[in-house]
């Protein structure tokens, strides 16, 4: 079994082949998605909401994410493991970004992701110069939600040029791919044509080179109203809770365990 490399994802774009990325934060989902042929897994700072129970991604730390990256790396054979740099761990400058990225690479990541376009070009360059592949992330960047005024679509009207400039800056700084989050479909399509590296859309329409979703959203592990860009492919929460209820019912009724689960 061969590891997916960043160049394979770039070559897929050249061939016009689309691919899917999912988040993963633990052994079982990592192994299942790896076996399913998902070529890239992201240990997102979305672990803040989806693992640690924080209100926003701003609260999660490098120390909290490193063990999750190690677990995913240990549990996969084929997928490219991408570690998200959390809020506060790279903005100060290239030296801080490099120090943080090295921690994730030593934990088993094959690449890192960070938010920001033109304003993060120096960080992206420093990491790629150090041999660390970088996935950019532009458009709506959740770590800046307080500056951006909440979850808002980017690239409408005048800001289209801003998002395009960010995409070019990220590509020119040496990134191997770039996430476009909540960008209008037309701007995402235009960027996808303009840059040579794959675009990975989330809420960015059908024309990006790849798509990414948080696995708990994709599989219906998280309940409640999901954002418009989510499609649910299963109802895992219902299945899991149903199993827990059936187990508890059996115990209360005295129908588990039986002789077949017992020792003489």
How many other C-beta atoms lie within 10 A of the C-beta of residue 63?
A: 9
Which of 21, 29, 41, 44: binder of Na ion (CB under 5 A)? Answer: 44
Pairwise CA distance, residues 34 & 51, whole Å: 20
Residue reference for tokens 């394979």: 8
Which of 23, 34, 45, 47: binder of Na ion (CB under 5 A)? Answer: 45
Q: What is the DSSP string of 88-123?
A: TSSTT-HHHHHHHHHHHHHTT-SEEE---SGGGHHH
Pairwise CA distance, residues 125 & 123, whole Å: 5
Cα dihedral: 234, 222, 237, 47 (round 10): 100
Asked if residues 30 and 137 have their Cβ atoms less than 8 Å apart, the reply is no
Contact call for residue 217 and Na ion (CB under 5 A): no
Pairwise CA distance, residues 46 & 29, whole Å: 15
Which of 202, 204, 218, 221: binder of ligand KIV (CB under 6 A)? Answer: 202
Which of 46, 76, 192, 208: binder of ligand KIV (CB under 6 A)? Answer: 46
Any known ligand binding at 113?
A: yes
| Shortest reach from residue 108's CB to ligand KIV, in Å | 18
Our CB check for ligand KIV shows the closer of 84 and 209 to be 84
Contact call for residue 84 and Na ion (CB under 5 A): yes
Any known ligand binding at 166?
A: no
Q: Which does 197 bind (CB under 5 to 8 A by kind): ligand KIV, Na ion, none?
A: none
Active-site residue flag, 99? no
Contact call for residue 51 and ligand KIV (CB under 6 A): no
Q: Which does 80 bind (CB under 5 to 8 A by kind): ligand KIV, Na ion, none?
A: none
Q: Binders of ligand KIV: how many residues, by CB under 6 A?
A: 10
Question: Of the listed 35, 162, 181, 190, which one is catalytic?
Answer: 181
Contact call for residue 84 and ligand KIV (CB under 6 A): yes
User: Looking at 36-44, 184-192, 199-207, 221-229, which segment touches Na ion (CB under 5 A)?
Assistant: 36-44
Pairwise CA distance, residues 54 & 227, whole Å: 18
Cross-strand partners of 22 = 41, 213
Contact call for residue 212 and ligand KIV (CB under 6 A): yes
Asked if residues 112 and 105 have their Cβ atoms less than 8 Å apart, the reply is yes
Considering only residues 117 through 176, tell me which ones interact with ligand KIV, judged by CB under 6 A: none
Which of 24, 41, 44, 215: binder of ligand KIV (CB under 6 A)? Answer: 44
Asked if residues 165 and 183 have their Cβ atoms less than 8 Å apart, the reply is no
Any known ligand binding at 84?
A: yes
By C-alpha distance, which of 128, 104, 122, 132 is closest to 44? Answer: 104
Using CB under 6 A as the criterion, which residues of the chain lie in contact with ligand KIV when the complex forms? 23, 42, 44-46, 84, 179, 202, 212, 214
Residues with a known catalytic role: 181
């Amino acid at each position: 079994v061969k590891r997916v490399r960043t160049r394979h994802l770039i070559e897929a774009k050249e061939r016009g082949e689309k691919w899917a990325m999912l988040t993963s934060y633990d052994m079982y989902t990592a192994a299942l998605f790896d076996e399913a042929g998902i070529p890239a897994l992201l240990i997102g700072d979305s672990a803040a909401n989806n693992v640690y129970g924080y209100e926003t991604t701003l609260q999660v730390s490098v120390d909290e994410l490193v063990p999750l990256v190690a677990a995913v790396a240990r549990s996969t054979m084929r997928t490219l493991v991408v570690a998200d740099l959390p809020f506060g761990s790279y903005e100060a400058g290239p030296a801080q970004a490099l120090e943080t990225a090295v921690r994730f690479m030593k934990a088993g990541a094959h690449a890192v992701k960070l938010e920001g376009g033109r304003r993060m070009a120096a960080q992206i360059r420093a990491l790629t110069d150090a041999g660390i592949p970088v996935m950019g992330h532009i458009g709506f960047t959740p770590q800046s939600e307080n500056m951006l005024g909440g979850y808002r679509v980017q690239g409408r009207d005048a800001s289209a040029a801003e998002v395009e400039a960010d995409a070019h800056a990220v590509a020119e700084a040496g990134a191997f791919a770039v996430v476009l989050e909540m960008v209008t479909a037309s701007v995402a399509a235009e960027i996808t044509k303009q840059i040579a590296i794959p675009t990975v859309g989330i809420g960015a329409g059908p024309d990006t080179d790849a798509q990414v979703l948080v696995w708990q959203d994709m599989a219906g592990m998280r309940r409640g109203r999901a954002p418009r860009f989510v499609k649910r492919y299963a109802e895992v929460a219902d299945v899991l809770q149903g199993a827990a209820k059936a187990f508890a019912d059996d115990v209360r009724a005295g129908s588990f365990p039986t002789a077949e689960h017992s020792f003489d």
